[in-house]
Structure 1
Amino acid sequence: MKRILLPAGGAVLATGLLAAGLAGTASATPAPQDEYLAKSTEIALNTIDFWTKSNNYALKQATAYHWDYKEVKKLVSKGGYTADTKPGVVAPIGEEKKVAAKVHNVNMPKTIGKVFFEARDGKLYWCSGTSIQSNYKNLVSTAGHCVYDLANNGEVVSRWVFVPGYYQGKTPYGIFVGKQAYTHYDLDVYEDYDRDYAFVTVYNGIGGVGGQEVAYDAWKAHTGRKDVKVEKIKVSKDEYEKWVATTGNTGDVVPATAPQTTGPQDSRGVYEPKEVNEADYKAAAAVGGPTDVKVGAQAFVTTTVVSEQEAEKPGLGKAYQDPATKQWKIDRFYVKQWVIAGSDAQYFIFKPHFIIEKLVDTGRLGDVVGGQGFAYNQPTGGIVRTFGYPYAEHPDGSKPYTGVTPKWCYGKTSAKLVGSAAKKIEEHVALKCPVTPGYDGGPWLLKYSNAKRLGYVNGVTSTFNDQDGNERVDYISSPYFDGETAAVYKAAANQASGKILPTVGS
């Protein structure tokens, strides 16, 4: 495999659970690089606060991370792979109950989710990722560029969290704050996309941030995050005055408004004819046109047959007896008008709701959602299933994915390794898959069991490529997982992270 630099020191030795599965890894590989994402529980809690306040507002504002991927036009075959050590696997954890499954009716793995972070440009982004087996059940696999902001001087990102099963602001299994990220030396130092993978240890998950309404005394005594939500309630005038007298508070009164006349051109107006006396009718009719009932006339007359007694009290109308029929009639006179309706006074009181948020420890990631296995130095040309949350547009501007739900691809990887001069790539594996950024960091699972929803992580989505030149992504690529990948994985898989909420939220 390609070698850029061999620093002093060999690979970290495997211990415990992973020792046997990784015993064949290289002994002269570069030391894995690690960076703290949240070194202390205080930083981790601040990270939780940032993403979850205001009903997970920041999570909802994040968008799929990607550079200008139009620069990656085509992958070029570079030849076959050369194993640097013996092939190896680490078994997955958390087998789920078997379910009946048809071919390609894919059961999505419970382990996948979104990686959220703040990049060096200050913007909020997400990638895809998965829980992966480790000694402490606390490890996430994703792309290296979802940990190191390679588009902005290659510095480590901030406020990194993993949310398995994320859906539109919902965090069903909790939020897992990244503690320490492990990457290959060549990615860290040289931004080498042949090593575009990362393994991140995470603290125990944090859940229960939705909020609970309590009495004022309990709210006042609560030491964690709390809020007051005020409800505006419409009441009668008597209820309002009683409330003001009882509480001493001032609510909100919307004064009454009188009706206003307007014209037919005013969309707010409602047509309401107004009865007038004969003189006013004649004046309006003279302005508006003929005195009969026609569209556009400003005045009109209606004639009603009445009794003699009714004719004695015509009101604004004109009473008379028809000479021909001897019937009594009343002519009533109207002018056309458009009126903006008035309103009665409205009275509102304010009711406070006291909200506290009790954060709870949801447990270790692997205990909550399980963990995929790990495989390295496997032959190319094998069948994999890839998963992730595509969102960004294709290079031609079309945007078929929402990023809301995970998608998958299935097929054989390229039999030969591929490269791309644009990203200094020499040893990637390719797969036909028309997805877009947001999918990056998602796992390539070897030997995926649709019934168990488990397999072996044998790659992560790194780049998006246009092989046929139609300005649409049709292939994705992953670094080839070899013995040096296993050394990075092994170093991360043997690191504990622990809890961040021993007493918070009580």
Structure 2
Amino acid sequence: MKRLLIPLAAAGLSAAAIAMPANAEPHWATDNLTPKPADAYGAAAFWLDSNGAALRKATQYRLDAKDVPKLVTSSGKGTADGKPGMTGPTTAAKAGASKNVNLPKTIGKVFFLDRAGHYRWCSATSIQSRNRNLVATAGHCVYENGKDVFQKWVFVPGYYQGKAPWGVYVGAYAFTAYDLDTYDDYDGDYAFVAVHNGFSLTTSKEVVKSEFGQWAGDKWVQHEEIKKEEYDAGFAKYGAAGPYWSKDFDVTPEKVGHSYTGQKVLTKVEVSEADYAKAPKDTASDVNGEQYEQVGPTPISQEEYKKLADLKGDGKFLGKLDVTKNASGGETAWFETHYYIKQWVKAGKTIRYFRDHYFIGIAKDTGRLGDVVGGQGFAWNQPLGQQVTVFGYPSDPHPDGDRPYTGVTPKWCSGKTGTKSYQVNMFKVETHQVLKCSMTGGADGGPWLMKYNNGKRTGYVNGVTSMFHDNDGNERIDFISSAIFDGETADVYNKANYAETKKIVGPNGELLK
């Protein structure tokens, strides 16, 4: 996979400091997610549109495994590869007291599109970093089969039923273990993602067509059917350049020129992209064949794309179809675009009249992730047998079909990790740490927090949920496992710690360049 250079903070990292011997394999890999503000805005708007409809549509991501992977005692001991270390948490939450476990504000869901175009989610947490912009999750919740990053990747802390109470944070750069990225080796099934400032779509405003055309952020058109009297008055005032238009639903309407003195209507006719490009731009002269509007690119599912591609092959679809591909040629997202020109026709018997309403979405910058919800600490090279509290959004049923979790609200497990490490041959794992816990899939990527302070709601991330296991063979999940956070993990974290990200909307809700 092609490696990408990213901006680094000025303090301390020189080219010499990150140079490696020519034949040495690095411990870390990095890839772009959505580094450009315009693309990041589009990714967040995709999930927030229609009051979070896409968020609610998403389902938990499932590992590509036919059966629950088996745990085997490892020949290795999962021993430290260096001195133990810890980096303290940052907090934006007020301390509290409760006999139950207080849920940290840092946890939430990551949402993304997989290669098949399905809307997916995993669990994750905000983690401490110098730029207060880092998310920790499982590597398989960022990289598909260890090869390419998922599309439209966002983090929503405190997610609940389509709501993003503290905003949406779009992934800019992803960092993971070299072995996961290169060999799909789940000993490195973790990732740290640097995210842009969060934002929320707070409201919308109806504007005139000219302002709509200049707006760089989220925008859309709504078509309202109106009566002929309103159309006549509006068209008389604004002409063909205005928001009023009509459509003749006669099967074979007769085309006429602007000079035709009989009853006529100005309609919009769909054409191909090539014919649209040849058509003159709006001259306000009301002549036939001028450009009217382009609608799209609009995201569609892979299934819709295939159906439209068949229709296009038969000459029954005039629009344009686009597909986004990853570095290895796999399809990741699909789009349709339609093109319309103006056309005068004789008025028939089935004319309907419309007015276009132009809306822009007003966004609000919610600030850096760590400033809003805080960030958990980070620990590495700790001995096994640690007391941990694990959080996540479990949703999958147990192997026997029972489904005790919905994935709507976060759950938790608490206990000591095993004192031995384990192998999972199906995923090339030589040393994973394990915890007795019945959470199921959907909790993938959730943090394993050492020294969890229930009042401050903070601890130290010493693992993230990677896999789920039925150790006693009763078709119930009874153990979860995580990569062991060692010196290599600390190296990956250190690279992510210096990643710089941006605001993507300005003070007036406009998209920043």
TM range (shorter): 0.5 to 0.7
Deviation at 1:241, TM superposition (A): 12
Cα distance in 2, alignment partners of residues 179 and 356 from structure 1: 25
Structure 2 counterpart SS, 1:80: coil
Q: 2:501 aligns with which of 472, 481, 497?
A: 497
Cα distance in 1, alignment partners of residues 64 and 177 from structure 2: 24
Q: Relative to 1, partners in 2 of residues 1:210 and 1:381: Cα closer, same or farther, differing over 3 Å?
A: same
Q: TM-score, normalised by structure 1?
A: 0.68
Q: 1:47 aligns with which of 25, 43, 51?
A: 43
Q: Relative to 1, partners in 2 of residues 1:116 and 1:136: Cα closer, same or farther, differing over 3 Å?
A: same
Output aligned runs, 1:400-411, within 5 Å: 400-411=404-415
Q: TM-score, normalised by structure 2?
A: 0.67
Structure 1 counterpart SS, 2:499: coil
Cα distance in 2, alignment partners of residues 17 and 85 from structure 1: 22
What is the percent sequence identity of the aligned residues? 53
Higher mean C-alpha deviation, range 30-39 or range 168-177: 30-39
Structure 2 counterpart SS, 1:106: coil
Q: 1:359 aligns with which of 360, 363, 368?
A: 363
Deviation at 1:96, TM superposition (A): 2.6
In structure 2, the partner of 1:173 is: 166
Structure 2 counterpart SS, 1:428: strand
In structure 1, the partner of 2:268 is: none
In structure 1, the partner of 2:349 is: none
In structure 2, the partner of 1:77 is: 73
Q: 2:112 aligns with which of 84, 102, 117?
A: 117
* Native 8 Å contact 1:73 1:469 kept in 2: no
Structure 1 counterpart SS, 2:50: helix
Output aligned runs, 1:237-252, within 5 Å: none
* Native 8 Å contact 1:120 1:155 kept in 2: no
In structure 2, the partner of 1:24 is: none
* Native 8 Å contact 1:117 1:126 kept in 2: yes
Output aligned runs, 1:334-483, within 5 Å: 355-483=359-487
Rg larger for: 1
Deviation at 1:60, TM superposition (A): 1.7
Q: Deviations over 1:374-397 (max 9, x none)?
A: 000111111100001111222222
Deviation at 1:220, TM superposition (A): 5.6
Cα distance in 2, alignment partners of residues 71 and 477 from structure 1: 16
In structure 1, the partner of 2:190 is: 197
Structure 1 counterpart SS, 2:422: strand
* Native 8 Å contact 1:384 1:411 kept in 2: yes
Deviation at 1:471, TM superposition (A): 1.3
* Native 8 Å contact 2:365 2:503 kept in 1: yes
Structure 1 counterpart SS, 2:38: helix
Instruction: Compute the RMSD of aligned alpha carbons.
Output: 3.2
Cα distance in 2, alignment partners of residues 171 and 216 from structure 1: 30
Q: Relative to 1, partners in 2 of residues 1:404 and 1:17: Cα closer, same or farther, differing over 3 Å?
A: farther
Structure 2 counterpart SS, 1:60: helix
Q: Relative to 1, partners in 2 of residues 1:36 and 1:217: Cα closer, same or farther, differing over 3 Å?
A: closer
Q: 1:142 aligns with which of 137, 140, 157?
A: 137
* Native 8 Å contact 2:37 2:502 kept in 1: no
Deviation at 1:38, TM superposition (A): 1.1
In structure 2, the partner of 1:128 is: 123
Matched, 1:164 2:157: yes
* Native 8 Å contact 2:108 2:159 kept in 1: yes
* Native 8 Å contact 2:203 2:363 kept in 1: no
* Native 8 Å contact 1:222 1:356 kept in 2: no
Output aligned runs, 1:264-279, within 5 Å: none
Q: Relative to 1, partners in 2 of residues 1:64 and 1:471: Cα closer, same or farther, differing over 3 Å?
A: same
In structure 2, the partner of 1:257 is: none
Unaligned runs of 5+ in 2: 1-7, 14-23, 236-243, 246-353
Matched, 1:91 2:91: no
Q: Deviations over 1:344-398 (max 9, x none)?
A: xxxxxx9998754211211110001100000001111111000011112222222
Cα distance in 1, alignment partners of residues 82 and 390 from structure 2: 25
Amino acid at match of 2:116: D
Deviation at 1:65, TM superposition (A): 0.2
Output aligned runs, 1:170-319, within 5 Å: 170-207=163-200, 209-212=201-204, 223=215, 224-227=217-220
Q: Relative to 1, partners in 2 of residues 1:201 and 1:188: Cα closer, same or farther, differing over 3 Å?
A: same
Q: Relative to 1, partners in 2 of residues 1:117 and 1:82: Cα closer, same or farther, differing over 3 Å?
A: same
Cα distance in 2, alignment partners of residues 154 and 29 from structure 1: 17
